[in-house]
């Protein structure tokens, strides 16, 4: 009887291991296929001019410097706007929202926002900002990206602060330390690596968002630092150039897609290795 049970469990265990390994290999197969395709088609288009010249008209050489600068500006401003809001909201949920209905309701709404399609955020910003001022702008694009940053940072901050042992809070309170100082000097330091990881993952998410920028920043064929005007960005340029009938534009689209992919991979690797020993 015991031998039969053992053999059955061993067979089931091996079957589940085989299924898990098959699922792992299936996912890795598509991941490596996508990366290899991007490198095969995009790497030849990576050149010095890609980072020094603006997007060209059809039939002429050029680069993506205006789109790269626009993406960096909007992603940077969006991160600067969304990160403090997300950290403070996550702090309230973890440190002050133990009682009452507000914290559970906020967590639920945050999860809804976290899983909402990004095009809805773009339409929202278009309705409340772009349509009111009468023109597309980099500020509108940065605002849309900041809304995408907030739920990621809120969820990460909330989870990381909840992992901080209560004994640290009790010891700090026993020394007469006010709660705000306990949060900033003890809880934030203990959860620092997780919070920074959440911010980096939020940046990785917004790096390749196209739909919100189509309704907010649109694009610009020229080099522009003016955030109050339409601004070029890599996702929209890739979308436009990939669908064009011109081969040179297609090559630039592959190069832009390769840049974004390498950026997102680099940020994810950095996020998973930063402060690993802390």
Q: Cβ of 77: how many Cβ atoms within 10 Å?
A: 18
Q: At what angle do helices 247-273 and 2-42 cross, to 10 degrees?
A: 140
Task: Tell me what the pLDDT averaged over the chain comes to.
Answer: 90
**Confidence grade of residue 62 (pLDDT, cut at 50, 70, 90):** confident
pLDDT of residue 80: 96
In the chain, alpha helices (H): 2-42, 65-91, 102-115, 118-125, 131-133, 138-162, 166-174, 179-182, 188-190, 192-207, 211-214, 234-242, 247-273
Q: Which of 54-58, 84-88, 134-138 has the lowest mean pLDDT?
A: 54-58
- The per-residue pLDDT for 265 is 86
pLDDT tens digit string along 216-263?
998 888 898 999 999 999 999 999 999 888 888 999 999 999 999 888
Secondary structure letter of residue 62 according to DSSP: -
% the chain with pLDDT above 90: 60
Question: What would the pLDDT profile of 99-150 be if each residue is shown by its tens digit?
Answer: 888 889 999 999 999 888 999 999 999 999 999 999 999 999 999 999 999 9
Q: If you average pLDDT over residues 27-36, what whole number do you get?
A: 92
Pairwise CA distance, residues 63 & 106, whole Å? 44
DSSP-derived secondary structure letter, 51: G
Identify the band that residue 173 occupies on the pLDDT scale cut at 50, 70 and 90.
confident
Task: Determine whether 108 is exposed, middle or buried from the number of CB atoms within 10 Å of its CB (0-12, 13-18, 19+).
Answer: exposed
Report the distance separating Cα 149 and Cα 129, nearest Å: 18
Reading the block at residue 227, the tokens are 């955030």
């Amino acid at each position: 009887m015991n031998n039969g049970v053992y053999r059955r469990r061993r067979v089931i265990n091996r079957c589940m291991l085989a299924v898990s390994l098959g699922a792992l290999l299936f996912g890795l197969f598509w991941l490596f296929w996508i990366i290899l395709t991007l490198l095969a088609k995009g790497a030849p288009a990576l050149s010095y001019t890609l980072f020094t010249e603006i997007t060209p008209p059809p039939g002429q050489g050029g680069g993506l410097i205006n789109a790269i600068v626009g993406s960096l500006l909007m992603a940077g401003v969006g991160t600067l706007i969304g990160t403090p809001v997300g950290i403070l909201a996550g702090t309230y949920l973890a440190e002050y929202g133990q009682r009452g209905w507000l914290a559970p309701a906020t967590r639920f709404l945050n999860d809804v926002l976290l899983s909402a399609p990004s095009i809805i955020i773009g339409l929202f910003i278009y309705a409340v900002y772009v349509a009111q001022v009468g023109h597309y702008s980099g500020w509108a694009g940065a605002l849309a990206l900041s809304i995408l940053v907030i739920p990621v940072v809120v969820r990460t901050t909330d989870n990381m602060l909840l992992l901080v042992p209560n004994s640290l809070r009790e010891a700090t309170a026993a020394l007469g330390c006010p709660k705000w100082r306990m949060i900033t000097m003890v809880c934030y330091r203990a959860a620092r690596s997780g919070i920074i990881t959440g911010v980096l993952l939020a940046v990785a998410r917004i790096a390749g968002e196209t739909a919100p920028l189509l309704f907010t920043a649109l694009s610009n064929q020229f080099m522009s630092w003016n955030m109050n005007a339409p601004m070029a960005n890599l996702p929209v340029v890739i979308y436009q150039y990939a669908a064009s009938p011109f081969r040179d534009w297609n090559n630039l689209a592959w190069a832009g897609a390769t840049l974004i992919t390498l950026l997102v991979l680099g940020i994810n690797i950095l996020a998973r290795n930063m402060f690993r020993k802390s």
